[in-house]
Amino acid sequence: MFNNLDVDLFIKALQETVFMSAISTIFVGILGLILGVFLYLTSENGMLKNKFAYFILSLITSLGRSIPFLILIVLLIPFTRLILGTILGPSAALPALIIGATPFYGRIVELSLHEKGKDLVETGLSFGATTFNIVLKILIPESLPSLIRGLTVTAITIISYTSIAGAIGAGGLGNLAYLYGYARNKIEVTLVATFLIVLLIIGVQFIGDFTSKKLTKK
């Protein structure tokens, strides 16, 4: 059914999808954590309660989340060309993927920190600790299992974003499914590409669940 060329294409596409997803997830993990921590800290119950700062952060987060991903890619074309010099290939998808998914993870982080936040913060304050140390040594470590679960959901969202990015030239499995499967009418290519994406997502979910469970000291 497939010749060698097709197999090579699938391997290359899979590598590109994994590359885009992995790099974006790392960046989103870090940037989303920072965004989420500040959303939490400046919120009504936070240690740095600040209505104005929270409003601004919240507005940016909501805006980022409400722009459909396809439109975001198009909006970011000038920015991408400016920093990468091209708008084609897996690397060119990174700015859009990172900017699109960071607000998503930021909100998840904010919610995770709120779960046990009040008691943990009070405990930290009663030790005479600084805000920085409370966040770094109590809040984040204690919320880690929940943060990992959130990052898993985010990674899966990023994988589906890569397919959209692929369709307009970023490479990867989405690109393959669209270019060969749809444009050249090879339905079996689309099916295999879909199957590979599903496998990838199941794999990510499994790793996420496993890590989160390991980190919960039950």
Partner 1 sequence: MINIKNIKKVYKVNKNSFEALSDVSLNIKANTIHGIIGESGAGKSTLIRLINGLEDYQDGSVDVFEYKNIIKLNKESSRMLKKRIGMVYQSFNLLERKTVLENVLMPVSINRKAKISDIKKAKELIALVGLSNFIDKYPNHLSGGQKQRVGIARSLINNPEILLCDEPTSALDPTTIKSVLELIKDIKSKFNITVVIVTHDMYVIKEICDYVTEMEKGKVIENGEVDEVFYHPSQLTTKKLLSSIGLNYELIISNNKHIKNKYILFFEKEIVESSIITDISIKFNTRINILYASITPNEKGIMVVHIKSNVNEILVSLKSLGVVVENV
Residues engaged in binding partner 1 (CB under 8 A)? 119-120, 122-130, 133-134, 137-138, 141-142, 144-145, 215-218
Q: Least CB distance from residue 159 to partner 1, whole Å?
A: 29
Q: Least CB distance from residue 147 to partner 1, whole Å?
A: 12
- Residue whose structure tokens are 């749809």: 182
Is the Cβ–Cβ distance between 198 and 177 less than 8 Å?
no
State the CB neighbour count (10 A cutoff) for residue 127.
10
CB burial of residue 12 (10 Å; 0-12, 13-18, 19+): middle
Q: Least CB distance from residue 201 to partner 1, whole Å?
A: 28
For partner 1, the closer CB: 83 or 136:
136
Is the Cβ–Cβ distance between 107 and 61 less than 8 Å?
yes
The H-or-E segment that residue 150 falls in is helix 140-165
For partner 1, the closer CB: 8 or 115:
115
For partner 1, the closer CB: 125 or 207:
125
Give the CA distances from residue 19 to residues 112, 153, 191, 193, in Å, rounded to whole numbers and listed in that order. Answer: 27, 18, 21, 16
For partner 1, the closer CB: 77 or 129:
129
Q: Least CB distance from residue 141 to partner 1, whole Å?
A: 6
